[in-house]
Structure 1
Amino acid sequence: MEVEDEAWSKLSIYKAARTIKKRDNSLYNALRSIYQDSVFVSEISQLWPQLPLLANLRCGLWYSSSFHSTCYFKSTDGHTNNCSFSTSRLNLHVAHLAAQKGGCMVVDSTRRGKRFPDSMSKTIPIWTCVLNRAISQFRTDSNIHENDAALPQEDCNGCDEIARDWDCSLHLPLWVPQTEKASIEEHLEEWTEQLKASGADIASLAVSLKKPLRPLWISQRTVIWLNEVPHHDSWDFTPIILVSASSSSNGVSQHNRTTSEFSWNYIPGAGDDEESWSRGLTPPLFWNHVYDLINSGPEMCNQKVADIVEKSRVRRAYRGENAPQIRVKSISHEEPSLASDVSNIEVDANESSEDFEVSWLGSTNLAVGASQLATDVADVDCILNCDSESISVSLPSEEAYLHLPMVSSKFDRFSLFNNLSKAVSFAKFNLSQGKRLLILCNNGEDISVCVCLAILMSLFDEKGTFDDGESFNTAHITKWDMRRRLVFVCKFATNARPSRGNLRQVFNFLIGGKCILQPQEGDRSDE
């Protein structure tokens, strides 16, 4: 009997702990924490107003209403003893933007226990170092002078000196151990060769970048003397200023805050893992209604968010855009309630920002984008829709539209593989007639990019010229071939974020073998 009572006691303690944690991680606490951290981000951005502000997807996107652009540096590429350099996420647009503006600022945040996420502590420093090394080698090999002009042969001796002045060191923050730094440095040459072999346009970077890239770190614990803030042009490097929006206090996760009206708990890195707390709210919706949400208080916040999300869905539906109904799961055995009961709202995890772009891939007549844009894009002759939902479009004929519903490998490991043959055939028929093809998916970042990659590999040569598949039929496709084409796609579609599982399906389709997609040891998804 005592054993049974002890079991019930432990269960009650567990339930109580879960209840407290759920209360502390409430929607209002998350939004209020994001808003408070955004004030810090705004203050830092005003110190260097000439530098563009970039959000590191996805968490960083919540912390400002006025980002210049986005980037995608994954923390997994900077995990301890597992660091890597990804040719699938080169973020070359960040380097070009920094070259054009004299630097840039990247915003992200992290949960408790850290001042900076691994993306800032190691992923971005590795990225800047590898780019600097590749640029230095290119400048040496091509005799590029500091003023970006080719030197006469008699003056080429100066190029070696310039190359030596180009900083190729690995700059890591002080909290990264020396042993780990030494381990990373052992791979720098390998990663530099991978970058050069990927087909990335190092030449344009070598010409536009006046000073080597170098990361700087700023958090809410950084001491900044306002009368001593240097101008970004005064540095002998191109700064990539890494702003961690989170407030940290000796690893404590929750901090009680009180205003004149409400008490609430601060959550470090509240913008992370938005599917678990946002209930369909997106960063643009949040910033469009930020003061209403903050002033609504903990009791009314859930209802306010439900109203905002539903009104946004109705507006999209009226415009003919993809607007799935929000589903509600009840935690009891009762029937599901209305959407206003937001305690357990389930939404499409891929439904994100309302700001989308169509990316035309040079002169290939191919473009990728989100299905929300289909009705607004001009100069499109045909559309391949890979979204799960069909859309209403105005095209010259019914044959100019093909709907092939596909889902991510997270939900179906064979979805892309089973549809790529039809997708390539549709593209071949239309591109051979000189038509402009738009490939859509729900977010324009993953599935549409992978389908476009398969079409490029199947129907275009290395130079991006349509050859009706002649070069593909005579080539032996390797993973490096596919990576080089992916670099080409990402050059134009800077928001591309193809997952590893989807890319694997594309590769299996291209090599014509069986789609064997068993997970390998150490493999991780790029979702």
Structure 2
Amino acid sequence: MSKNINNIRIARTIKRKESSTVYNALRSIYEDSIFVGEISQLWPELPLLANLRCGLWYSPKFDFNCYFKSTDGHTNNLSFNTSRLNLHVALLAGQKGGCMIVDSTRKGKRFPDSMSKTIPIWTCVLNRAILNYRTRFDRRDLPENESATSNELGSNAQESSGWDCSLHLPLWVSESEKARIENCLEGWTKDLEASGADIASIASSLKKPLRPLWISQKTVIWLNEVPEYDSWDFTPVILVSTSSSSGSFQHRTTSEFSWNYIAGAGDDEESWARGLSPDLFWKNAYDLISSGPDLCNQKIANIVERDRVRRAQRGQSAPQVSVRASKCSGRTGRFPIAEPLDLDNGIGAEDDKLNDDSGISSLASTNIAVGKSQLAMEVPPAYCILNCDRQSFSVSLENPEMYLHLPIMDSKFDRFSLLKNLPSALDFAKTHLRKGKKLLICCSNGEDISVCICLAILTSFYDEAGHFDDGKSFSETRITKLELRRRLVFICKFVVNGRPSRGNLKQVFAWLSGGGYIPCAS
């Protein structure tokens, strides 16, 4: 009996491996992208956003990215994370009248938890914080001796009463879970308000409350009855799930090839993509899809190698690709913010030429910028460069001492790598910031390690007003998690795709709070 069970398991494993080829994944993504294109054309004025990382595969062109984690919506891990506020999404929705967010899931569900719960929680908390801000603002504007029941306050209160702060969840979320979420909303709203987030800018941008809507491949839409988004009494956040929920693997046949559909194929790209990125895929999509299952792997290898050589010739980071074995085969009140995000260009409204590329973001008047290491070659030579990528690169600077390479590994691979390199990073930053130099902090993606290093520098050498004080205020205060969170919110105001990992943030806090240590080499 047990032998038969083992044989069944082996057969299932083989079938799963055969189904999970790179061609199957890319063909599935390509087919699902057609659905995304059709939905985006229903409301072409609304910007299209990819929820990192899976959603980034499903369209050749996105207007912006965002980062809502499914784990924040898991039943036993419900949370509102101030490290991932995505405030640029709210600003964008306010400016454009709404937005569309694309994501996918492999779980056999119609929607990932990021869409079922994480984003609905986010919209509700933001709506509540905006209402609280407007209520306080209205009361502050009253004459000193005027009653709270004055006509002015009464009209404003009446206007605010139409501001929907209720929790909108999809029908498949149970009433008991909805009740648990509602019990946490007040606390989450206070966390948002305490984080120093720029609620004022969002409140001025949003004319109607945010509200999620859900669209999947099973949604029925009558094309002659598509409503105008500006006719709704809310600002729509349209959640587009690309996954077909008919099954994890569906055998499909065309006139040329037979292949297996994979729901949420864009997920966990390290395990299947062989170094191919969404950008490279869409530049070569027709060639890859038309090549068929037998030639697809070789096509990918050629594309990835050509791109690597091109970047190497330009002096950019170009490591060899190693294929991992597949599993199946307003104001913050503390820091001055120069301008609201100029979302038409996807950058902060700064004069600095670094902001000509959304891959590098300048932090207001702090003389600090954060970005991808592959773009560091293009910065002005007057900049100092702190390279936290594992790969070094050559760059033309006024002085060789203006460049420092610290090959910092992610906390998943080395729990103390960032901690061990922080002293060198802080010394380098302090030396050059003292001289009034501008500092670029870069890493492979400009979203994690570079953000954490920037957080350590900002906390160590800048006062509460955002001015460089050579560490004086840091030596006189005790850093708390709340203070660190406020400064991280300030950074993510400009580095809108910043998504520092919990392990790396813990190392920064350990050092700044005085509890950091460097383990002895074994």
Task: Decide: shared fold, TM above 0.5.
Answer: yes
The residue correspondences of 1:308-347 to structure 2 (distance < 5 A) are 308-327=303-322
Q: 1:379 to 1:191 in 2, by over 3 A?
A: farther
The residue correspondences of 1:47-446 to structure 2 (distance < 5 A) are 47-143=42-138, 155-249=152-246, 252-327=247-322, 357-378=359-380, 380-446=382-448
Q: 1:516 to 1:80 in 2, by over 3 A?
A: farther
User: Could you tell me how far apart the structure 2 residues matched to 1:14 and 1:311 are?
Assistant: 40
Unmatched segments (≥5 aa) in structure 2: 330-356
Give the letter aligned to residue 318 of structure 1. Q
Deviating more after overlay: 396-405 vs 453-462: 396-405
Residue 26 in structure 1 maps to residue 21 in structure 2: yes
Give the letter aligned to residue 207 of structure 2. K
Q: 1:516 to 1:435 in 2, by over 3 A?
A: closer
Give the letter aligned to residue 435 of structure 2. Q
* Cα deviation 1:355-386 (Å, max 9, x = unaligned): 96101011100011111011112364211111
* Cα deviation 1:95-138 (Å, max 9, x = unaligned): 00000000000000011421000000000000000000000000
Deviating more after overlay: 119-128 vs 76-85: 76-85
Identity, in percent, stands at 67
Q: CA deviation at 1:432?
A: 1.2
Q: CA deviation at 1:156?
A: 2.2
Q: Counterpart in 2 of 1:520?
A: none
User: Could you tell me how far apart the structure 2 residues matched to 1:58 and 1:469 are?
Assistant: 37
Give the letter aligned to residue 202 of structure 1. I
Give the letter aligned to residue 433 of structure 1. K
Q: Counterpart in 2 of 1:485?
A: 487
Q: CA deviation at 1:512?
A: 1.5
User: Could you tell me how far apart the structure 1 residues matched to 2:75 and 2:108 are?
Assistant: 15
Return structure 1 stretches of 4+ with deviation > 4 angstroms.
9-13, 150-154, 328-331
Q: Report if aligned partners of 1:55, 1:61 keep a CA contact under 8 Å in 2.
A: yes
Q: Counterpart in 2 of 1:348?
A: none
Q: CA deviation at 1:17?
A: 2.4
1:215 alignment partner, SS class:
strand
Q: Counterpart in 2 of 1:347?
A: none
Q: CA deviation at 1:144?
A: 8.9
Give the letter aligned to residue 430 of structure 1. H
Q: Counterpart in 1 of 2:341?
A: none
User: Could you tell me how far apart the structure 1 residues matched to 2:192 and 2:176 are?
Assistant: 25
Give the letter aligned to residue 286 of structure 2. Y
Give the letter aligned to residue 399 of structure 2. S
User: Could you tell me how far apart the structure 2 residues matched to 1:57 and 1:328 are?
Assistant: 21
Give the letter aligned to residue 408 of structure 1. D
Q: Report if aligned partners of 1:53, 1:67 keep a CA contact under 8 Å in 2.
A: yes
Give the letter aligned to residue 496 of structure 2. T
Give the letter aligned to residue 411 of structure 1. F
User: Could you tell me how far apart the structure 1 residues matched to 2:198 and 2:44 are?
Assistant: 29
Q: Report if aligned partners of 1:137, 1:163 keep a CA contact under 8 Å in 2.
A: no
Deviating more after overlay: 91-100 vs 11-20: 11-20
Q: 1:277 to 1:329 in 2, by over 3 A?
A: closer
User: Could you tell me how far apart the structure 2 residues matched to 1:330 and 1:357 are?
Assistant: 30
Q: Counterpart in 2 of 1:339?
A: none
Give the letter aligned to residue 467 of structure 2. T
Q: CA deviation at 1:443?
A: 1.0
* Cα deviation 1:260-319 (Å, max 9, x = unaligned): 111111111111111111111100000000000110011111111111111111111111
User: Could you tell me how far apart the structure 1 residues matched to 2:189 and 2:405 are?
Assistant: 41
Q: Counterpart in 1 of 2:506?
A: 504
2:18 alignment partner, SS class:
helix
User: Could you tell me how far apart the structure 2 residues matched to 1:52 and 1:509 are?
Assistant: 40
User: Could you tell me how far apart the structure 1 residues matched to 2:417 and 2:76 are?
Assistant: 34
Deviating more after overlay: 16-25 vs 405-414: 16-25
Q: Report if aligned partners of 1:356, 1:373 keep a CA contact under 8 Å in 2.
A: no
Q: CA deviation at 1:19?
A: 1.7
* Cα deviation 1:423-451 (Å, max 9, x = unaligned): 11111111111110000111111100000
Between Structure 1 and Structure 2, how many residues are aligned?
485
Q: 1:443 to 1:356 in 2, by over 3 A?
A: farther
Deviating more after overlay: 319-328 vs 195-204: 319-328
User: Could you tell me how far apart the structure 2 residues matched to 1:169 and 1:81 are?
Assistant: 22
User: Could you tell me how far apart the structure 2 residues matched to 1:110 and 1:246 are?
Assistant: 6
Q: Report if aligned partners of 1:453, 1:486 keep a CA contact under 8 Å in 2.
A: yes
Q: Counterpart in 2 of 1:460?
A: 462
Deviating more after overlay: 450-459 vs 378-387: 378-387
Q: Counterpart in 2 of 1:338?
A: none
Q: Counterpart in 2 of 1:35?
A: 30
Q: 1:219 to 1:125 in 2, by over 3 A?
A: same
Q: Report if aligned partners of 1:380, 1:437 keep a CA contact under 8 Å in 2.
A: no
User: Could you tell me how far apart the structure 2 residues matched to 1:381 and 1:112 are?
Assistant: 46
User: Could you tell me how far apart the structure 2 residues matched to 1:14 and 1:116 are?
Assistant: 28
Q: Report if aligned partners of 1:112, 1:253 keep a CA contact under 8 Å in 2.
A: yes
User: Could you tell me how far apart the structure 2 residues matched to 1:258 and 1:285 are?
Assistant: 26
User: Could you tell me how far apart the structure 1 residues matched to 2:209 and 2:62 are?
Assistant: 24
Question: Which of the pair has the greater relative contact order for Cα pairs under 8 Å at 6+ separation?
Answer: 2
1:512 alignment partner, SS class:
coil
User: Could you tell me how far apart the structure 2 residues matched to 1:210 and 1:328 are?
Assistant: 48
User: Could you tell me how far apart the structure 1 residues matched to 2:424 and 2:454 are?
Assistant: 13
* Cα deviation 1:364-410 (Å, max 9, x = unaligned): 00011111011112364211111111110111111111111111111
Q: Report if aligned partners of 2:416, 2:518 keep a CA contact under 8 Å in 1.
A: no
1:294 alignment partner, SS class:
helix
**TM value normalised by structure 1:** 0.89
User: Could you tell me how far apart the structure 1 residues matched to 2:160 and 2:176 are?
Assistant: 28
User: Could you tell me how far apart the structure 2 residues matched to 1:20 and 1:240 are?
Assistant: 38
Q: Report if aligned partners of 1:447, 1:498 keep a CA contact under 8 Å in 2.
A: yes
User: Could you tell me how far apart the structure 2 residues matched to 1:114 and 1:327 are?
Assistant: 32
User: Could you tell me how far apart the structure 2 residues matched to 1:394 and 1:260 are?
Assistant: 54
